[in-house]
Amino acid sequence: MPSTTLEPLPTPTASDLAEGTATLESIYGLSGVTKTYGSGATAVCALDSIDLTVSAGEFLAIVGASGSGKTTLLQLLGALDRPTTGRIELLGRDLTSLGERELTRLRRDTIGFVFQQFNLIPTLSAADNVEVAIATRHESSAQRAERVAELLGSVGLAHRAQHLPSQLSGGEQQRVAIARALANRPAVLLADEPTGNLDTASGSEILELLERLVAEGNQTIVLITHEPRIAEAAQRTISLKDGRILSDTQPGPG
Ligand SMILES: Nc1ncnc2c1ncn2[C@@H]1O[C@H](COP(=O)(O)OP(=O)(O)O)[C@@H](O)[C@H]1O
Ligand SMILES: [Mg+2]
């Protein structure tokens, strides 16, 4: 595949990977990634020489004090911002070499985003909030409806499809947001404190859902959290301090 192509990538989906029809192992490869905001006397070095590899099917938690660079790192992983120096590969493509149009397409086709604020459209039903995210415009409306039903079913909300966000609990709203994030079968799900706005019980529901996506769908997840129980549930935790990786734990099974 020539690196100059503008055609969409034949991106392996999480289910391709689970079924073994794709052999891709590396989702992300970061080397020497630095991010500096501003310049001169007011420059802030938010990330300092980050090297990181994320493999398919990993559930990775990012922890660290406020201001340690967690959100900056997630934004770079999400191709929402560019590093000041260094290289970021997603599915073998160097993000720093791509233009805005290609980055937009890459985000839509390969990355799902979940935020602390659920960011649902308040005037749309749960089903419509999910449907607007489906990129394949040439599918029939019946096919789209089927996909929406499948997505809402996968987050346990089939019975809430016609509810507005205001008629749903926080945990349910976040589940709709997760269904939306999964609409295009992203290679990676990125989440910035997805349980930060939820009570403990709702947070547990979301955590169970994320764990199931990893266990059953081989979904790759990178999430930021302040909650030790969520970091513990992830297979791997990296801890940031002052823009550097302080520790990277990869506890084996048992
Ligand atoms: N847009 C920005 N402009 C200037 N400084 C920023 C910007 N975003 C983040 N920072 C600074 O970069 C550092 C890391 O921020 P951030 O990545 O948001 O950390 P965290 O998510 O761990 O709290 C902090 O010192 C923060 O003030
Ligand atoms: Mg943050």
Asked if residue 225 has its Cβ within 6 Å of ligand 1, the reply is: no
pTM of the model: 0.89
**Can you give the pLDDT at residue 1?**
38
Starting at the edge strand found earlier in the chain, the sheet holding 220-224 runs: 111-115, 188-192, 220-224, 59-64, 236-241, 244-249
Rounded distance, CA 73 to CA 92, Å? 18
Instruction: Report the run of H or E that residue 150 belongs to, with start and end.
Output: helix 141-154
**Can you give the pLDDT at residue 136?**
73
Rounded distance, CA 34 to CA 31, Å? 9
Distance 134 CA to ligand 1 centre (A): 31
What radius of gyration do the chain's Cα atoms show? 18
**Can you give the pLDDT at residue 231?**
93
Asked if residue 69 has its Cβ within 6 Å of ligand 1, the reply is: yes
Distance 169 CA to ligand 2 centre (A): 24
Distance 72 CA to ligand 2 centre (A): 7
Minimal-distance CA residue to ligand 1 atom 6? 37
**CA 180, 181, 187: angle at the middle one, nearest 5?**
140
243 CA closest ligand 1 atom index: 14
Asked if residue 43 has its Cβ within 6 Å of ligand 1, the reply is: no
Distance 183 CA to ligand 2 centre (A): 25
Mutation choice for ligand 1 from 72, 77, 82, 226, CB with most ligand atoms inside 8 A: 72
**Can you give the pLDDT at residue 79?**
97
Asked if residue 67 has its Cβ within 6 Å of ligand 1, the reply is: yes
Minimal-distance CA residue to ligand 1 atom 7? 37
**Can you give the pLDDT at residue 252?**
46
CATH of domain 56-82+107-249: 3.40.50.300
**Can you give the pLDDT at residue 152?**
97
- Where along the chain do its domains lie? 56-82+107-249
**Can you give the pLDDT at residue 135?**
78
**Can you give the pLDDT at residue 139?**
80
**Can you give the pLDDT at residue 5?**
36
Name the stretches of the chain with pLDDT < 50.
1-10, 17, 20-23, 252-254
**Can you give the pLDDT at residue 15?**
54
Minimal-distance CA residue to ligand 1 atom 27? 67
**Can you give the pLDDT at residue 164?**
98
Which amino acid, 249?
T
As beta bridge partners, residue 30 has 52, 88
**Can you give the pLDDT at residue 254?**
41
On whether the CB atoms of residues 27 and 187 are closer than 8 A, the answer is: yes
Helix (H, G, I), strand (E, B) or coil at 52: strand
On whether the CB atoms of residues 181 and 114 are closer than 8 A, the answer is: yes
Name the residue among 183, 174, 184 with its Cα closest to residue 205: 174
Minimal-distance CA residue to ligand 1 atom 12? 46
66 CA closest ligand 1 atom index: 23
